[in-house]
Amino acid sequence: MGLAVTERLVELGWNVTIVDFNAPKGEAVASRLGPQVLFVKANVANWDQLSKSFVESWQKWGRLDFATDVTCQGIGDRIDWYAPAKELPDGSPEKPDTLVADICLTSPVWCSYLGMHYFRKNAKPGGRIVFTSSQCGLYPGPSIPIYTAAKHGVVGLTRAMGARLEQLKEPITVNCICPGLVPTNIMPEAISNATPPEFVTPLSTIVRAVEGFFADEEGKYQGQVAECSGESIVMRPQNEYKDDATRYIYSDSAYAKADREQVMKELLEKRAELAQSIASVA
């Protein structure tokens, strides 16, 4: 998906930075697409490496208008979460592999933070973020629970950031796509073979969805979740508020009336207390 989006951006005249840990493939793509593309080798689950990729991109192009994590997806649950755990000598289970949560949730969180920072440094502040969630961000994937949890998190991040940035009237938009089953080289062949062809979502649908968001110069899309299945792209609204209390709390009405500086002061104090408690346990 990332390659297809990159090719479309280059076709439209954009300068693009692609970030991946696979240097040979990344460098080959950059070489093939020409001087409009910069490749940066990085582990997106590592803050320092991801941050450095943004620094290099800024130094190369002098601006940042669009950030997406679509180019750093491609990982699902790496263990059978429900299989009996291997037991250690003390009787506890072995630590499970949760890299999928780092790649599919922590990395987008960091990407959004870095994106906002550089958008504000532009000569004309502003920019667009497009996350890659999944239909697993809308429906449960029983066999891949950690991936499902991460992708639900991305949908929540999109809606929360979109709402807050709109309140702040910042020229930054945050939206996400929720693709169905897309034919990529990371898809297990057994899954592809078990899926009827008519249930597969083509790359062209993903490109159209992402392009719809990054081409939105007026900022009419904010906090939107685009489900992509087959040839269709459908905006999925958030759940209706259950009652007035729910609406009051989760539309930030309480925050709007509270002294935000005092709120942050109290949160920082509580964080310091928690850090001390954790240190005492360690």
CATH number at residue 201: 3.40.50.720
Torsion angle, CA of 201/203/204/210, rounded to 10 degrees?
100
Q: What are the tens digits of pLDDT across the range 25-81?
A: 999 999 999 999 999 999 999 999 999 999 999 999 999 999 998 644 567 888 999
Residue 48 counted as domain residue: yes
pLDDT of 72 reads 46
Residue 223 counted as domain residue: yes
18 vs 30: CA distance, rounded Å: 8
**Residue 197 banded pLDDT, cuts 50, 70, 90:** confident
Q: What are the tens digits of pLDDT across the range 74-103?
A: 678 889 999 999 999 999 999 999 999 999
218 has a pLDDT exceeding 70: yes
- N-term to C-term CA, the chain: 42
Residue 282 counted as domain residue: no
Residue 101 counted as domain residue: yes
Residue 53 counted as domain residue: yes
How large is the angle between the packed helices 107-119 and 145-168, nearest 10 degrees? 20
Say what the pTM is. Answer: 0.92
Q: What are the tens digits of pLDDT across the range 140-176?
A: 999 999 999 999 999 999 999 999 999 999 999 999 9
Give the amino acid at 255. Answer: Y
Residue 258 counted as domain residue: no
Residue 86 counted as domain residue: yes
Total count of domains within the chain: 1
CA distances from 95 to 83, 85, 98, 139, 263 (A): 13, 9, 9, 27, 36
Share of the chain above pLDDT 90, in %: 73
280 has a pLDDT exceeding 90: no
Residue 162 counted as domain residue: yes
Contact 210, 7 (CB under 8 A): no
For the segment 119-148, the average pLDDT, to the nearest whole number, is 96
Domain extent at residue 62: 2-238
Share of the chain above pLDDT 70, in %: 97
For the segment 246-257, the average pLDDT, to the nearest whole number, is 86
